[in-house]
Amino acid sequence: MKSEDDPITDDEWILRRVRADMYQTNGFPFLSPRAFEPRTGGREPDTDGISVYRASCLSHVADVLAEIPPDKLAAIGLVRVLVAHIQSLGLSLTPKKTNVPGHCVIPELDAKCQKEQRTRADQFAHQLAVFGSRPEAIALVPPSIQLGERQEAHPPC
């Protein structure tokens, strides 16, 4: 397990929490690009970028779910994207310590970008959804999802 203070390397996996309504069970990409859009309103807009977590800083991928209330766990899944894929899009990762080890943000995907550069933000979100829809990227399918015959659940890493 890496320390949060270790440099982020391009061979690391980054985890993103994804709500069940962001999964498309009848096609590809498996994830909706909305899974990678920043929150622009509400109590906590993503002013510093969308949250992701370094898998290498966790003892188990499910540690990312530690802050989710138990009654909402059935509606949350996890996807993985390689740092190299994120960097290939010209995006970066900035560590931002929280209660969950390995927390980072992608600063280019913040609420301001979503509002002012919608087309650019949508392109990033679509590419991340494609990367996150690969079979090896699905770390945990939300238990509330009914998978179709063409999709199969992948066990947590």
Is the pLDDT at 52 greater than 80? The verdict is yes
Task: Tell whether the model's pLDDT for residue 147 goes beyond 60.
Answer: no
Average pLDDT score over residue span 50-79: 93
The model's pTM is 0.87
> In this structure, which amino acid lies at residue 17?
R
For the chain, give every domain's residue range: 13-140
pLDDT at 62 over 90: no
Q: How confident is the model at residue 144 (pLDDT cuts 50, 70, 90)?
A: confident
What percent of the chain is predicted at pLDDT more than 90?
Answer: 60
Sequential DSSP letters for 2-21? --TTSPP-TT-EEEEEEEGG
Residue-wise pLDDT for 109-136, tens only, equals: 988 877 788 788 889 999 999 999 998 8
Exposed / middle / buried, residue 27 (Cβ in 10 Å: 0-12, 13-18, 19+): exposed
* 54 within 8 A of 12, measured Cβ to Cβ: yes
The pLDDT value given to residue 141: 86
The mean pLDDT of the chain is 87
The whole-number average pLDDT for the span 39-68 is 90
CA distance 138 to 130: 11
